[in-house]
Amino acid sequence: DSGVTQTPKHLITATGQRVTLRCSPRSGDLSVYWYQQSLDQGLQFLIQYYNGEERAKGNILERFSAQQFPDLHSELNLSSLELGDSALYFCASSVAGGGTGETQYFGPGTRLLVL
Amino acid sequence: GENVEQHPSTLSVQEGDSAVIKCTYSDSASNYFPWYKQELGKRPQLIIDIRSNVGEKKDQRIAVTLNKTAKHFSLHITETQPEDSAVYFCAASIGGNNDMRFGAGTRLTVKP
């Protein structure tokens, strides 16, 4: 157990809908990262937050957004869902998130299925 | 943009043999190179990492080597066991934000 929690574990929804995925980082970690992993694919970096502020952005679609709250938990919002958004969404956290390269610890993931 | 190339995409070895997975990166500022193991349906788990000021690091049957000049690093698993079967991802830090780029993964199968 990495100490990173994600809810829900599974999510089934329809095209055009909006969902929110939630992540709680390890105790003391200030940075949260979101990744998308499609079937048999690698990990695509979406976005990073550090202490409530956006720090880095990857290949995140405009239909997706995220935020990190004062208690450091983060939410990833996916809207106008398409079939191709079906994937495993991982959250990871690290202690700080700058400069020297830090280990990222992954949560168990949320499996999203868009029908 | 910055990317990480990983080879091979699949690797099958006999139990007891060694396995080597190679990655190359493009950002000369990359200074942290972790390796993750992901079993089916589970989270990626860190198995070993190396920083740019070190050329090699070993942890029991697992070792990682780094060649900064050539911008490549490799994972070596010796005396492989069936439980080593999984997908392995390399990664490299990008820029100064701990932004990480992952390789596409290598599916390792260890045959008993």
Please give the DSSP secondary-structure letter assigned to residue A26: P
> Are A99 and B96 an interchain contact pair (Cβ–Cβ within 8 Å)?
yes
Q: What is the pLDDT of residue A100?
A: 62
In B24-53, the residues whose Cβ lies within 8 Å of chain A are 31-32, 34, 36, 42-46, 49, 51
List of chain B residues whose C-beta atoms are within 8 Å of the C-beta of residue A51: none
Omega cis (within 30) before A108: no
What is the pLDDT confidence band of residue A99, given thresholds at 50, 70 and 90? Answer: low
pLDDT: which is higher, B99 or A113: A113
**Torsion angles phi and psi, residue B94, rounded to 5:** -120, 130
Q: What is the pLDDT of residue B41?
A: 85
Residue among B92, B80, B94 at smallest CA distance from B36? B92
The 10s digit of each residue's pLDDT in A59-97 is 899 999 999 999 999 999 999 999 999 999 999 999 876
Q: What is the pLDDT of residue A32?
A: 94
List of chain B residues whose C-beta atoms are within 8 Å of the C-beta of residue A45: 99-102
Q: What is the pLDDT of residue B93?
A: 86
pLDDT: which is higher, A100 or A52: A52
Q: What is the pLDDT of residue B97?
A: 59
What is the pLDDT confidence band of residue A9, given thresholds at 50, 70 and 90? Answer: very high
Mean pLDDT of chain A: 92
Residue among B19, B33, B32 at smallest CA distance from B87? B19
Q: What is the pLDDT of residue A41?
A: 77
Mutation pick from B48, B93, B100, B102 vs chain A, by most beta carbons of A within 10 Å, is B100
Regions of chain B where pLDDT drops below 70: 1-2, 95-98
Mutation pick from B98, B99, B107 vs chain A, by most beta carbons of A within 10 Å, is B98
The count of C-alpha atoms lying within 13 angstroms of the C-alpha of B95, restricted to the half-sphere facing its C-beta, is 13
Which of B51, B102, B105 faces A101 most closely, judged by CB atoms?
B51
> Are A98 and B43 an interchain contact pair (Cβ–Cβ within 8 Å)?
no
Interface membership of B5 toward A (CB under 8 Å): no
pLDDT at A19 over 90: yes
Interface membership of A31 toward B (CB under 8 Å): yes
C-alpha distances in Å from residue B43, one per residue of A1, B2, B4, B38, B55: 10, 24, 20, 6, 28
